[in-house]
Amino acid sequence: MAARRATKKPNISKDELTRYYRDMLLIRRFEEKAGQLYGMGLIGGFCHLYIGQEAVVVGLEAAAEEGDKRITSYRDHGHMLACGMDPNGVMAELTGREGGYSKGKGGSMHMFSKEKHFYGGHGIVGAQVPIGAGLAFADRYKENGRVTFTYFGDGAANQGQVYETFNMAALWALPVIFVIENNQYAMGTAQQRSTSTPDLHTRGEAFGIPGEVVDGMDVLAVKEAGEKAVGHCRAGKGPYILEVKTYRYRGHSMSDPAKYRTREEVQKMREERDPIEHVRALLLDGKHASEEDLKAIDKEIKKVVNESAEFARESPEPALDELWTDIYAEAE
Ligand SMILES: Cc1ncc(C[n+]2csc(CCOP(=O)(O)OP(=O)(O)O)c2C)c(N)n1
Ligand SMILES: [Mg+2]
């Protein structure tokens, strides 16, 4: 792959850049492994990969603080890894094993972690948007200063429930950041074929919700915009919209042959805009790291990912008598 050159020298520490590199690479390698396991028949059902979109979630997690919440769609593996969930538990869930986050009974689209404040994983397009506002409502009620990151796609942004949610979130000044991950496609439909007003960051104007558009292939730009949005919410000014322009390299899900776009289009993005290559160039050009250092990180990440696959394969399938457990929440 042609290396992407760093265009400007940002005022950012070696440690921070290295962390972004590592976190994005973990998502990329994890997703590649998930794709392989799917091909081997070890993952069933749907599997939506996040490859290409890594800078969105890594940049926003860099703007989050302990106790902040996150909720997203079915394209959720990257969000889980970025908020610190265990790759072993995620991979085991993908393969339907007992060691998974939902004990192997949820799969790719249905994982949660109370500890990391990750509220799913939702297969119904847009369903997470009102739930995200509900999480923010609870925090506003408790006056605890927490913020909820509610992620959804460009396709979901055309749904009615999103606008009912915008109205209530603005009315009650809820501390929620609506993150529209605009990867330009909703399944096989390009944005210009489905969307009358393509500037999704302006969709809150009728409700008085400010919004901005962000380069989602640049983790530093995402982090900066995230900090601004978080500051707005924590100051009690209500919701904020971030339209993050990104791109998914793989099909909508593993079963998508992606005939609705050209190979050249995907290749161009990979070569010119790859978010990991961007940080790699910043590290190398800024003399923060050598090729050797980066190879060592790569090796370390591969080990974590291979171990997660190993853990998943060794974990048993759920026992039959687990079929009726975990259906209703237990009273606390
Ligand atoms: C209510 C509902 N309608 C339709 C679907 C089928 N469906 C699954 S994903 C998807 C496209 C969503 O695209 P977008 O919001 O852009 O998210 P992306 O997949 O690009 O991350 C559709 C129509 C669904 N799961 N739920
Ligand atoms: Mg989309």
pLDDT per residue as tens digits for the range 233-246 = 999 999 999 999 99
> How much is the average pLDDT of 223-230?
98
- The fraction of the chain above a pLDDT of 70, given in percent, is 97
pLDDT per residue as tens digits for the range 195-211 = 999 999 999 999 999 99
d(Cα 309, Cα 314) in Å, to the nearest integer?
9
Q: Specify burial of residue 40 (Cβ count, 10 A radius: 0-12, 13-18, 19+).
A: exposed
Handedness of CA 17, 22, 27, 29 (dihedral sign): positive
Give me the DSSP letters along 40-103.
Answer: TT-S-S-----TT-HHHHHHHHHH--TT-EEE--S--HHHHHHTT--HHHHHHHHTT-TTSTTT
- The fraction of the chain above a pLDDT of 90, given in percent, is 93
The predicted structure's pLDDT at residue 6: 56
Atom of ligand 1 nearest to the CA of 53: 21
pLDDT per residue as tens digits for the range 123-143 = 999 999 999 999 999 999 999
Name the token pair of 267.
Answer: 């290749």
pLDDT per residue as tens digits for the range 112-126 = 999 999 999 999 999
Which residues lie at CB < 5 A from ion ligand 2? 153-154, 183, 186
> How much is the average pLDDT of 164-182?
98
Whole-Å CA distances, 202 to 85, 178, 180, 206, 239: 33, 12, 11, 9, 13
The pTM of this model reads: 0.96
Q: How far is the CA of 125 from the centre of ligand 1 (A)?
A: 5
d(Cα 252, Cα 154) in Å, to the nearest integer?
13
Q: How far is the CA of 153 from the centre of ligand 1 (A)?
A: 8
The predicted structure's pLDDT at residue 1: 40
Query: Is residue 3 over pLDDT 80?
Result: no
- The response to whether residue 53 sits with its C-beta less than 6 Å from ligand 1 reads no
> Do the strands 211-215 and 240-245 form a parallel or antiparallel pair, or are they unpaired?
parallel
pLDDT per residue as tens digits for the range 33-47 = 999 999 999 999 999
Protein residue with least CA distance to atom 13, ligand 1: 186
